[in-house]
Structure 1
Amino acid sequence: MKRHFTKFSSVLLSVSLAASGLVASGGELAEVMKKRGLSELDVVRAAKTYNPSGVKDEFVVFSSAGQAGQVIVYGVPSMRILKYIGVFTPEPWQGYGFDEESKKVLRQGNIRGREINWGDTHHPALSEIDGKYDGKWLAINDKANPRIAIIDLADFETKQIVVNPVFKSAHGGAFFTQNSDYIIEACQYAAPFDNNYHPIEDYKEAYRGGVTMWKFDHKKGKIQEKESFTIEMPPYMQDLSDSGKGVSDGWGFTNSVNTEMYTGGIEVGMPPNEAGMSRNDTDFLHVYNWRKLGELAKDPKNVKIINDHKVIPMEIAVKNNALFLIPEPKSPHGVDVSPDGEYITVCGKLDTHASVFKWSKIKKLIDSKEYAGKDPYGIPILDMKKSLHGQAELGLGPLHNQYSNVDGEIYTSLYVDSQIVKWNYKTLKVLDKVNVHYNVGHLCGMEGKSADPQGKYIISLNKLAIDRFQNVGPLHPQNHQLIDISGKKMDLLVDMPLPLGEPHQAVAIRAEKLHGHVRYPMGTNSRTDSIHEGKTLAGQERIERDGNKVKIYATVVRSHINPERITVNKGDEVTMYLTNLERAQDEAHGFTIGHYNVHASLEPGKTASIKFTADIEGVFPYYCTEFCSALHLEMMGYLMVKDPNKKYESAQKMKMQTMTPAELKAEYDKTVATNAATDAVIQSVVKFLKDNNFDKHKVVADLVTDAFDQYGQIPAQKKLADEAVKAGDLEKAILFENMIWQLMVKTADVGIRAKDALVRIIATKQSAAAANGEKAFGEGGCGGCHVIGKVSSGPDLTGVLERHGKDSRKWVKDFIMNPEKMYEDPYVKGMIDYFNLKMPNQHMSEKETEDIIEYLKWVDENANLF
């Protein structure tokens, strides 16, 4: 640490000297400083937070977004916002709450059958191993609706929401235990555990507080609801919690704010809650052995089942020496366990002191059953003075605490004084104070609530901004202020406005501990981390109908959506599966259809689905919502919804009614020629099928039968068309020829599928490498532009291994792995000019590339089949 600090100080000294030099020499910096009225200290502070382009932050902060119901992610020291994560509230950019997969997660948060689309996020928590943050999972609570959400830090997506079945509100969550066995959630406003009416006069008898211990599967990142339980507690309005660590591991600590059990009544002439709930000199710190209670909860005799949830009654907890109370400062708003688990700091917001309890003293009183008395519910009360290590006078309105990496050093927010105070919880001495702007609530240290705090910075999460930022109306942003704590004196470096909700609490982790995905395995359902049922690769795009249910299997890749035209009937239930075929990092696509209130965000490899009823007749463009390439505007298509009970007048028919005889003749000839060309394709497919004995393979023969069912209808339509020509009615003849074209398209579609199936059967057997190459070709999105056997959005790759001389294999390998380096190659430049597309870098590994080349070799061996 000393070496690091010395190095850091040297850097700052260099910056300061450089700044001084530039100022002294009258350079550009001096001119900027003069124009903006900056001091040398301002420049040094700016240098401490500045990240040059491409330089990343040392820490990542996860902040609640309060009434926005989300999580805000930003970096330290730059204080740059990186992301919002959709949690309890729909978030359109990510499609959260608009695609089917995220809707399922959001709907896990329904309460008593009612959709809840709003949340008040308060306390984020990072999963821990041995009390240290491991960067795997983030939990956050919703105070307004008692819920906990789990966010996967591999992709920063919400994967689970659980509803507390017995609480009606829960401010005191979420807090991981030392090894992430449980997540602690404490009740806020006492209420009956059941869902029935109970008069307020029955408050002491029927209303209850409590702490829920949510069993957590750290490997899967899932709360196990059936293995979770709630500890019944008096209606004292439990508030924040912390889990023991080190010597106090296995125990939990939760404070309270209304041991008076006052229930207000302004409307009937009673003093308001704020008076009645702060009458006592002290409230109670709840101390409970969650590890023992977890074992007790496994025995049905020790629990009550309320709303299908296990509740351990107070008398069971007391009988088993697992629940205790300690008087604590009035109206506390936080309880914080030291890195080694020995000291527990509580600040009462109506007190000027911080009270430091000592675990070894508490445990000694518990073990010897030395109690100062019992509360009205029979819970043993430990003597406050005998539990205390001591108290420190800090200032007005102490609230929350964060620990540093210096032994005994702790930082506390002073709400009324608008200050941060640095002090030592062992010696109880105040070391430093710094002013903040204004009315600070929580603090965020760098891993400052873990067993391994990093020091360096403290962030002050201020409730008021007032004069700090540009006036944007009566609703001001919140203000997070970064404070350098690496020196003897604290130094406030920078203000950061946060414009999303009221960020309540934040946690910070070393960036090096986070290992987020840059792409998904192809076809991933990102909310379940499994392969999606709608996974679709290039060439597999299709539309399937079952009655009035239509399923569309689509792909997206720069710069097209396949299919580009979809026709359904009014009233159809439409499900559309979309797979992003990109492999390149950050090549996300979005998808929406006008008027239908759907949106999906499709990161590379991800499959998402949208579902809607096509209840509005009309034509609705759909498009990629994420700017992805130079041809982004062209990445679109049409959903056409027709009413099956209506007869539509063809615009083409209306057009024909205005044509001259010569124009009609030309249109007829053009239609006949198109049909002849289409028929030629069909006949080539038929020849291929016959030449290769399709009838010996039932799967193929069945498809051919389906194709001929369509083709067999053509002669009757052709006879009608010819009769119309003979009668001189070219308008009618064109309509019949158009019907022939429709039948031919259906025939060709099935016939080509039959051909593809036959190719698979009769082609030479693929080597393992070629099979892997075909998979990589499909999952790598190559088929989005290249269709084997024909020119598509890109050139046909049949024979590509023969086009570049004896070094063709190396040429193809180099092009796949680093296409951008070959854009000026004359051949490549010609292809780019012709197709108006550049081959993107899909970031194939060397093995994948070698396998693709083996697949292309197999294609060449079977070129006569494609």
Structure 2
Amino acid sequence: MQRLLKQSLVVTASLLALGTASLASSDLQTIMKERKLTEKDVLAAAKTYQPSGRKDEFVVFSSGGQSGQILVYGVPSMRIYKYIGVFTPEPWQGYGFDDDSKKVLRQGDIRGREINWGDTHHPNFTEKNGEYVGDYLFINDKANPRIAVVNLHDFETTQIVVNPIMKSEHGGSFVTPNTEYVIEASQYAAPLDHQYHPIEEYEAVFRGAVTLWKFDYAKGKIDEKASFSLEFPPYMQDLSDAGKGESFGWAFTNSFNSEMYTGGIEKGLPPFEAGMSRNDTDYMHVYNWQMLEKLAQDPKNYKIYHGHRVISIEAAVKAGALFLIPEPKSPHGVDVSPDGRYIVVGGKLDTHASVYDFRKIKQLIDKKEFIGADPYGIPILDMKKTLHGQVELGLGPLHHTYDAQDGIIYTSLYVDSQIVKWDYKNLKVLDRVNVHYNIGHLDSMEGKSAKPKGKYALALDKLSIDRFNPVGPLHPQNHQLIDIGGPKMELIYDLPIPLGEPHDVISIAADKLKPQVTYPMGTNSRTGKQHEAMTLAGQERVERKGNEVKIYGTLIRSHINPEHVTVNKGDKVTFYLTNLERAQDETHGFAVSGYNVHASVEPGKTVAVTFTADEEGVFPYYCTEFCSALHLEMMGYLYVKDPKKKYESVKELKLQKMSKEQLESEYKKVIATNKATDDVIQSVVKFLKDKNYAKYPKVKSLVEDALDQYGKIGEVKAKADESYKKGDVNGAILWEYQVWQYMVKTADVGLRAKNNLAKELATPMKPAAQKGEEAYLKGGCNGCHVIGQVSSGPDLTGVLSRHENAEKWVFDFIKNPASKYEEDYVKTMINYFNLRMPNQHMNDQEIKDIIEYLKWIDENAGLF
């Protein structure tokens, strides 16, 4: 015992990083004594501890139950990584708050009713040859029969499809071996026509069903038009699994209530739970989806319900595509072995797990050897003749998962609160471990794929009772990690889950997931395509059409452009925002105070938020993600004014309170400002005239617009001069302010005209320089650098002449800015602009192209 303790102390001292080699084992013993830890506890900690920066071997996706979301965590660390908004708005991601995610969420509305919650149950990955592929994830909603598609390239929900015939479901979402179809089975029988029918018509009109959703792998979307369903009797269908290997092409769905009992506790009848468990057996549905796929092509085999094809029981039976096999009463799990030969079923009200042999099933089908048919004409196979055998496991066997070792399976026991390890080929129990408490689903790593990994198992316990600090009557769920790598199973970690009732999980080797860390510039994350409103640096603008105002803005550390937006009360306002960052993890958020909008804008992403400006006032908008040292300064103002009201200028009131001397000083100041502004305008006008701007239609149009604004100045200036002559200095100042407004508008349009003309006059860009300009804009460089003038960063004109071996210096600086931070020149720039050049993660070719663009700028320096 002492030797084991010493070994564990040595291992743990290393794995837990408790100190250096000089750490005495007595220090660890002291900690163990103070915290009442055994060597078993310390070894368990060592198995799950991940030093900072070390990544998990497996990633787990858990249903979020009533939260309508998905939870992502790592194994063995059990660290929670992320919640994924699916059927429910999720504010951090802006899911359900920005326009594009709202469109996805609204795909889940049912018969015109907005649905904003879900009860997520069974996540499953895309598969190839029965092996998990980390491209897409599917998850179902039990409460509102729906299936969602999550794109694992960015962990965002991209599609929700509503089942057109079901009123509830539990048996989704299970995937055929090459992701041909996603299987969704109904739960509580209901009329498929969505009409009222009394319960007395249960057997005649109420039905179950299984839907086969066709998945278009290339598009990453379910093809609703190519999907179809199979009518089932009104037995309450439950879980499903698709065959693989020798059972490829077949699928299996179990059920309860073969009695077709209809309850009536309010009438003094026995409740559902009594009447639905009278029979000794229920039915496993066995159906051939490849045959059904062909039947769905012929209208004589199906009926149309709500635009959806439903193959009739009669057509499926006639084609030899649908059969029933008795199974232990109230079954809750049906799981196909990795090789596809065996199907294991657990009955909640039985103590046994039943192992069916697909070879025997197929032989009976081929020989048409049946023991009869159910009331709907479906052939029934003999249970004993299809069984490989049964094993007594304990009370309440529910679900199963497989081990990497051939023939080994793990089963959850709800009543006994245990996991049992057993051999389903040789039909013997090998080991069992207690869990806390009342386990439902379980999972071993990739345990339901064609190639399970083993190593760890997860117990999804429904109750935690006394396991954690009390947090009120609503207790967390408990996910427990179990080491299954040795001869005995060992419980090594408890993870309280405070998010709904996580119903089921699925795990995948972390190296199979290849998510992108940034988006290509301007991506709409919900479609994967370029957003129609992608805005690059320099393209920011506000467009008004009637009462619709569209703001095309950008986000980059640490400012939102534009910073001031004025709209009228009642306007429909849309902000389109593009994150110009290229560095990973430089996410920005966007919220407008009081208007219930939020967006998460990851690097390269474009989002839209739309709202009606129905409240007058001044509303700050800001970045919600702490993105830099100047995060708090990353903000702007939305001004909402009532067009029916006349506003009294506070500045005007201030002027009225000024003394004569103060007014004269203010007048001289505004006159000087206007002269300086006009000097800028005149220099631009001279440039435009000298370069014959009228030869270029686009430039000419801008100049005409500018001159139109400038032409209004004379009349206003005359009023200002007249007021001054009369001694009304206050009035003169106000009119001069109006002169300045027209000048600013003129200068804005004139400078754009100048930049456009400069482009026309400049030497033609070589292809490399064109690519360089594109990289410069998409990289967000223009967010800090304005060619020809100092802005948030230095003017880049002439940058290639400022340094010895300049091209290499610039290349190295763009490649790794931090490598230059300590150089005197860069230090000076950092101190002056109070900003550091960020690493935008340009590749080598992009940097070379940008240098060619900078050369082109220097060639045409006089034009900018």
Q: Is the TM-score greater than 0.5?
A: yes
Distance 2:218 2:9 in 1: 46
Distance 2:754 2:319 in 1: 74
The equivalent residue for 2:716 is 717
Shift of 1:22: 9.5
The 8 Å contact of residues 258 and 278 in structure 1, kept in 2 or not, is answered as yes
The 8 Å contact of residues 91 and 97 in structure 2, kept in 1 or not, is answered as yes
How big is each residue's C-alpha offset from its partner over 1:343-375, in whole Å with a ceiling of 9 and x where there is no partner? Answer: 000000000000000000000011111011000
TM-score of the two chains, using structure 1 as the length reference = 0.98
Structure-to-structure mapping, 1:267-282, within 5 angstroms: 267-282=266-281
How big is each residue's C-alpha offset from its partner over 1:727-775, in whole Å with a ceiling of 9 and x where there is no partner? Answer: 1111111111111111111111211221222122111111111111111
The equivalent residue for 1:729 is 728
Distance 2:114 2:558 in 1: 37
| 1:388 matches 2:387 | yes
The 8 Å contact of residues 438 and 463 in structure 2, kept in 1 or not, is answered as yes
Distance 2:482 2:176 in 1: 28
SS at match of 1:599: strand
The equivalent residue for 1:832 is 830
Distance 2:303 2:672 in 1: 80
The equivalent residue for 1:864 is 862
The 8 Å contact of residues 244 and 251 in structure 1, kept in 2 or not, is answered as yes
The equivalent residue for 2:11 is 15
The 8 Å contact of residues 23 and 29 in structure 1, kept in 2 or not, is answered as no
SS at match of 1:123: coil
The 8 Å contact of residues 151 and 160 in structure 1, kept in 2 or not, is answered as yes
User: Which of 847, 850, 854 is the matching residue for 1:849?
Assistant: 847
Counterpart residue type for residue 196 of structure 2 = Y
| 1:448 matches 2:417 | no
| 1:216 matches 2:215 | yes
Distance 1:22 1:700 in 2: 73
| 1:365 matches 2:364 | yes
How big is each residue's C-alpha offset from its partner over 1:409-437, in whole Å with a ceiling of 9 and x where there is no partner? Answer: 00000000000000000011000000000
Structure-to-structure mapping, 1:319-718, within 5 angstroms: 319-718=318-717
Unaligned runs of 5+ in 1: 1-9
The equivalent residue for 2:132 is 133
Unaligned runs of 5+ in 2: 1-5
Say if 1:506 and 1:670 are closer, same or farther in 2 by CA, change over 3 A.
same
How big is each residue's C-alpha offset from its partner over 1:682-727, in whole Å with a ceiling of 9 and x where there is no partner? Answer: 1121111111111001111111111111110000000000000001
Say if 1:838 and 1:338 are closer, same or farther in 2 by CA, change over 3 A.
same
Shift of 1:16: 6.0
The 8 Å contact of residues 12 and 46 in structure 2, kept in 1 or not, is answered as no
The 8 Å contact of residues 23 and 30 in structure 1, kept in 2 or not, is answered as no
How big is each residue's C-alpha offset from its partner over 1:216-273, in whole Å with a ceiling of 9 and x where there is no partner? Answer: 0112211000000010000101000000001001111000011111111111111111
Structure-to-structure mapping, 1:250-329, within 5 angstroms: 250-329=249-328
Counterpart residue type for residue 585 of structure 1 = Q
Shift of 1:194: 1.2
The equivalent residue for 1:823 is 821
Shift of 1:147: 0.3
How big is each residue's C-alpha offset from its partner over 1:461-509, in whole Å with a ceiling of 9 and x where there is no partner? Answer: 0000011111111111110000000011000001001111100000000
The 8 Å contact of residues 555 and 581 in structure 1, kept in 2 or not, is answered as yes
More displaced 10-residue stretch of structure 1: 498-507 or 745-754: 745-754
SS at match of 2:454: coil
Distance 1:223 1:323 in 2: 24
The equivalent residue for 1:7 is none
Shift of 1:170: 0.9
The 8 Å contact of residues 10 and 25 in structure 2, kept in 1 or not, is answered as no
The equivalent residue for 1:4 is none
Shift of 1:865: 0.9
The 8 Å contact of residues 178 and 244 in structure 1, kept in 2 or not, is answered as yes
- RMSD of the alignment, in Å? 1.5
Shift of 1:26: 4.4
Distance 1:33 1:698 in 2: 82
Distance 2:279 2:679 in 1: 93
The 8 Å contact of residues 9 and 28 in structure 2, kept in 1 or not, is answered as no
The 8 Å contact of residues 70 and 87 in structure 1, kept in 2 or not, is answered as yes
The 8 Å contact of residues 166 and 307 in structure 1, kept in 2 or not, is answered as yes
How big is each residue's C-alpha offset from its partner over 1:832-861, in whole Å with a ceiling of 9 and x where there is no partner? Answer: 111111111111111111111111111111
Aligned-residue sequence identity (percent) comes to: 69
More displaced 10-residue stretch of structure 1: 752-761 or 539-548: 752-761
Say if 1:381 and 1:435 are closer, same or farther in 2 by CA, change over 3 A.
same
SS at match of 1:122: coil
The equivalent residue for 1:811 is 809
How big is each residue's C-alpha offset from its partner over 1:51-85, in whole Å with a ceiling of 9 and x where there is no partner? Answer: 00000000000000000000000000000000000
Distance 1:849 1:19 in 2: 42
Shift of 1:13: 9.8
How big is each residue's C-alpha offset from its partner over 1:138-169, in whole Å with a ceiling of 9 and x where there is no partner? Answer: 00000000000000000000000000000001
How big is each residue's C-alpha offset from its partner over 1:186-233, in whole Å with a ceiling of 9 and x where there is no partner? Answer: 001100111211111111111100100000011221100000001000
Distance 1:203 1:678 in 2: 83
Shift of 1:668: 1.2
The 8 Å contact of residues 16 and 40 in structure 1, kept in 2 or not, is answered as no
How big is each residue's C-alpha offset from its partner over 1:110-134, in whole Å with a ceiling of 9 and x where there is no partner? Answer: 1001110000000000110000001
The 8 Å contact of residues 421 and 432 in structure 2, kept in 1 or not, is answered as yes
The 8 Å contact of residues 107 and 115 in structure 1, kept in 2 or not, is answered as yes
Shift of 1:667: 1.1
Say if 1:774 and 1:347 are closer, same or farther in 2 by CA, change over 3 A.
same
Distance 1:836 1:350 in 2: 70
Counterpart residue type for residue 604 of structure 1 = P
Distance 2:193 2:211 in 1: 15
Shift of 1:28: 2.5
The 8 Å contact of residues 535 and 579 in structure 1, kept in 2 or not, is answered as yes
TM-score of the two chains, using structure 2 as the length reference = 0.98
The 8 Å contact of residues 457 and 486 in structure 1, kept in 2 or not, is answered as yes
Say if 1:546 and 1:169 are closer, same or farther in 2 by CA, change over 3 A.
same
Distance 2:25 2:495 in 1: 31
Distance 1:533 1:623 in 2: 23
Counterpart residue type for residue 675 of structure 1 = N
Distance 1:666 1:694 in 2: 39
The 8 Å contact of residues 19 and 43 in structure 1, kept in 2 or not, is answered as no
Distance 1:17 1:627 in 2: 36
Counterpart residue type for residue 578 of structure 1 = L
The 8 Å contact of residues 22 and 30 in structure 1, kept in 2 or not, is answered as no
Distance 1:693 1:512 in 2: 61
More displaced 10-residue stretch of structure 1: 10-19 or 515-524: 10-19
Distance 1:707 1:135 in 2: 55
SS at match of 1:247: helix
Shift of 1:19: 9.3
Distance 2:22 2:796 in 1: 62
Counterpart residue type for residue 541 of structure 1 = E
Shift of 1:301: 2.0
Say if 1:826 and 1:204 are closer, same or farther in 2 by CA, change over 3 A.
same
The equivalent residue for 2:151 is 152
Say if 1:555 and 1:285 are closer, same or farther in 2 by CA, change over 3 A.
same
SS at match of 1:778: helix
Distance 1:19 1:99 in 2: 44
Distance 2:25 2:99 in 1: 61
Distance 1:11 1:139 in 2: 45
Shift of 1:564: 0.3
